[in-house]
Structure 1
Amino acid sequence: MSDKAATRDGDDADAVVAEQVARARRAQAVYEEYDQAAVDEVVTAVGWAVVEPERNRELSELAVATTGIGDIEDKVTKNRRKTMGLLRDLQGARTVGVVAEYPELGLVEIARPVGVVGAVTPSTNPVATPTNKAINALKGRNAVIIAPSPKGQAACERLLHYIHTELDRVGAPRDLVQQLAAPVSKARTQALMKQVDLLVVTGSQNNVRSAYSSGTPAIGVGAGNVPVIIDETADLDDAAAKITASKTFDHATSCSSENSAVILDAVYDGAIAALERAGGVMLDEGGKRRLQEALWVDGKLNRDAIAQSAVTIAKLAGLDDIAAQAPRFLMVEESGVGGEYPFSGEKLSPVLAVYRARDFDAAFEQTRAILEHQGKGHSVGIHTANDDHVLRLGLEMPVCRVIVNQAHAFGNGGNFDNGLPFSLSMGCGTWGQNSISENLNYRHYLNTTRIARTIPPREPSMDDLFGDYRSRYGL
């Protein structure tokens, strides 16, 4: 594209997005007057737009057909569980008016909208992620404009059709939830980033960095590359079953899917046998080389291999004998970490790198090295009965989540049997160059106004603060 053409495209993008943002602001001004009960009805309506079984299946089928990514049945499950879990989290949460009072401090907290939210979403979850962001935004009385990936555009358009149907049902403005006008382009996405009040970005790190440099307050999330440790106290069959369920779900589209297993030497053979019983197939060195050639082209993940079944990937690598075994996932033994060892990074496919560690100290260092290479700040899993190992990971490993004896892809984004908020966007803290270190949730879509009144003074004396210190050092 010439410089003049690029300029015209940018100018057109600015105008197109400005018109959408103006409509969103008008709708949000109306919505801001809703009380909590009316807001919660809107939130429920948008949840039903996706959870209704026939719609969910249609959206899941369309997502796989148009993106070429993932598994239909797993997307049906994901769309339902993630939305149901989020609605559970939001039940009873106060986001309108006075939400907290602290008489002893003289403080009253009032929830206020942020305004118009720009939500950038990935092709890996073209229904679940936009739904999650839209519901969280609406819970705070905001409007939201979704910028899907180009591949996810068709599924998002159909999703919006159903959302608008439900907004009509409850009498709420349609323009509360919009999609970036087609055709979705880099210029239009960047224009959106500059014109909204808050950006929430899930997907490529290029989009996250663009959001951070847009001048708009932005919440981005970090790259995944989850390692999981299996120590000498683990229930090996339970660990294998959970890793398999997580690794194969939706063909590993989740950023929380295990990418590496670091196994202690004392249980290595038994753990590999358990993983094989669960459906994994270990490749020999020749198979590993062919798989590497198929998964990476010119140093980048092969788009034809991303989130495909293990059978499809084996065939792509020319491993027809392996494909004939109908593996659920593929395993390769690895020892190195870094650019020269691509299996040490995120693979976005049902492929698991396996490392052997002599003891827990070695496993800890191996895991840290993997995260330093990619995925720092995101999360780590462990299968263990040793609480000291768990606590050490929490105290020392540069991650925001330690997932214990769980299928990582399910537990990390919130599950019905753990206390993490349901989310498809994982903050990675300063380790991952993010501003948040928790799962993105409705609180991040709110401004808070605080009323402060006087209270009885609580001014300390010099002795209160420095008495012990001065006595200790003879001051």
Structure 2
Amino acid sequence: MVSSTQVSQRQDTPDARATVASLVARARAAQVEYEHYDQKQVDEVVTAVAWALVHPERNRRLSELAVETTGLGNVEDKITKNRRKTMGLLRDLQQAKSVGVIQELPELGLVEIARPVGVVGAVVPSTNPAATPTNKTINALKGRNAIILAPSPKGQAACTLLLGFMHAELDRVGAPRDLVQQLPTPVSKATTYELMNQVDLVVVTGSQNNVRSAYSSGTPAIGVGAGNVPVIIDESADLDDAARKITASKTFDNATSCSSENSLVILDAVYEQAIAALERNGGVMLTADEKRQLEEAMWIDGGLSRHIIARKAPEIAQIAGLKRPELQSATFFMVEEQHVGKDYPFSGEKLSPVLAVYRAGDFDRAFEQTRRLLDHQGKGHSCGIHTDDDAHVRRLGLEMPVCRVIVNQAHAFANGGNFDNGLPFSLSMGCGTWGKNSISDNLNYRHYLNITRISRTIVPNEPTTEDLFGTYLNKYGLASS
């Protein structure tokens, strides 16, 4: 996932320290008051803040402002994303305990008690300047924390408007406004780094520069990894179903999601039929010359062009000077690729309705091609497969270095939780140690909690030497001294 970089190196000034210290002091005062809320009161606050975005008129205003100021995505899809992600998160949290005793295990003599982490600093990207801060805020408030948002420069206007809506809802339920704050305009690298330094927990979604800065701040931090989703289509797939889902996912919000498909790895046996199915859904395969022309327009000095990111396919065609009539009405573009690496930029994340397409002789080759793509970029994040062969699914789960394997679903919708799967609704995907992250699941409310455990004595459960070593010693005998 790419966003405007807020922090590239440690920078601080006395003014930045003082500015952030004032915000943190206000947040701590509000959090101390909020910590005394019971579960019912907390859930009311969470619902209020969610309504700040789900309210239809506010959602539209925020979506329009987000597209206007960031130039990323499209209004109608952002409206859908804002509502769906927030509604799904509220569903996940309805029965979740986050205050007081949350679990009792009498057989172990343990009682688990949820405690706040304190003040959270949340760095959020320009790709989702309303949905992501709302998601983080709801999760933080569910744990009786305060939160201070650090939006990207492009996303700041939308985040500021969102904060105003949240404050209005906090007023309605009588909760302290300072539970949710934002760095002052304009957000700078210095204030963002100071936020990371002064809060109790940092959660970062966005550029990997920001993630690395959070990890080096000295504050406990949760960062997420880069996406570069490869999806396999094998010989048992329902090709029309796969094509519809891939199209819906790849074109949603002009592919701003880090969970959008970036490469398809299609088995030889169904390659031509799969491409035809994708073409029936509006995809257009570029010629070799068109591919070269698009590459020159999409990558400038080794980086994705801001003029291409999150644009509709016909707009990309115009920017790249692609004249073929079919391209002016295309839903997305496909480019055939064989190689992987920095010299082959289509093998990486594209943040646009452009798919790299690889051809594989069999599933073993498709598996290895998928691994190469992830080793290049996106390791730990996720992969997908369209198949009716559970052995293929199981192998991906057992061997592929990813935290999520999405089966027969539209990847961008499913990966961050959907109403028809069991993943937690989130806009922040942990990538485990493969992606240099501290978590391997979808960022959720439990990551914003401390857990205190009360331990009482139980009937002793002490094993004998025979219990633990009997089988081993019977097989190998005693070791010589």
Question: TM-score, normalised to structure 1's length?
Answer: 0.98
Q: Which residue of 1 aligns with 2:129?
A: 126
**Structure 2: where are the runs of 5+ without partners?**
1-8
1:63 matched to 2:69:
no
Q: Kindly state the Cα deviation for residue 8 of structure 1 after the two structures are TM-superposed.
A: 10
Q: Which residue of 2 aligns with 1:287?
A: 290
1:7-406 to 2 correspondences below 5 Å:
10-322=13-325, 325-406=328-409
Q: Which residue of 2 aligns with 1:425?
A: 428
CA separation in 2, counterparts of 1:185 and 1:311? 35
Percent of paired sites with the same residue: 77
1:456 matched to 2:459:
yes
CA separation in 2, counterparts of 1:336 and 1:53? 45
Q: Kindly state the Cα deviation for residue 7 of structure 1 after the two structures are TM-superposed.
A: 11
SS at match of 2:154: helix
> 2:317–2:328: 8 Å Cα contact kept in structure 1?
no
CA separation in 2, counterparts of 1:347 and 1:9? 33
Aligned AA for 2:450? N
1:203-246 superposed Cα distances (whole Å, 9 cap, x missing partner): 00000000000000000000000000000000001000000000
1:173-215 superposed Cα distances (whole Å, 9 cap, x missing partner): 0000011111101111001000000000000000000000000
Q: Kindly state the Cα deviation for residue 9 of structure 1 after the two structures are TM-superposed.
A: 6.6
1:445 to 438, 443, 448: 448
CA separation in 2, counterparts of 1:235 and 1:138? 42
SS at match of 1:229: strand
CA separation in 1, counterparts of 2:156 and 2:149? 10
Aligned AA for 1:66? T
> 1:101–1:108: 8 Å Cα contact kept in structure 2?
yes
1:360-406 superposed Cα distances (whole Å, 9 cap, x missing partner): 00000000000000000000000000000000000000000000000
SS at match of 1:150: coil
> 1:314–1:323: 8 Å Cα contact kept in structure 2?
no
CA separation in 1, counterparts of 2:409 and 2:284? 22
**Structure 1: where are the runs of 5+ without partners?**
1-5
SS at match of 2:111: strand
CA separation in 1, counterparts of 2:33 and 2:396? 48
Q: Which residue of 2 aligns with 1:3?
A: none
CA separation in 2, counterparts of 1:375 and 1:169? 42
1:32-82 superposed Cα distances (whole Å, 9 cap, x missing partner): 000000000000000101001011001000000010100100000000000
When residues 109 and 369 of structure 1 are mapped into structure 2, their CA distance, relative to the original with a 3 A threshold, is: same
SS at match of 1:400: coil
1:439-474 superposed Cα distances (whole Å, 9 cap, x missing partner): 000000000000000011101111111111111123
When residues 322 and 109 of structure 1 are mapped into structure 2, their CA distance, relative to the original with a 3 A threshold, is: farther
> 1:411–1:418: 8 Å Cα contact kept in structure 2?
yes
> 2:11–2:193: 8 Å Cα contact kept in structure 1?
no
Aligned AA for 1:161? G
> 1:49–1:166: 8 Å Cα contact kept in structure 2?
yes
When residues 352 and 261 of structure 1 are mapped into structure 2, their CA distance, relative to the original with a 3 A threshold, is: same
Q: Kindly state the Cα deviation for residue 122 of structure 1 after the two structures are TM-superposed.
A: 0.3
CA separation in 2, counterparts of 1:60 and 1:47? 15
1:396-433 superposed Cα distances (whole Å, 9 cap, x missing partner): 00000000000000000000000000000000000000
Q: Kindly state the Cα deviation for residue 325 of structure 1 after the two structures are TM-superposed.
A: 3.8
> 2:196–2:217: 8 Å Cα contact kept in structure 1?
yes
SS at match of 2:47: helix
Q: Which residue of 1 aligns with 2:5?
A: none
> 1:311–1:323: 8 Å Cα contact kept in structure 2?
no
CA separation in 1, counterparts of 2:469 and 2:175? 59
Question: TM-score, normalised to structure 2's length?
Answer: 0.97
Aligned AA for 2:314? V
Aligned AA for 1:292? E
Aligned residues: 470
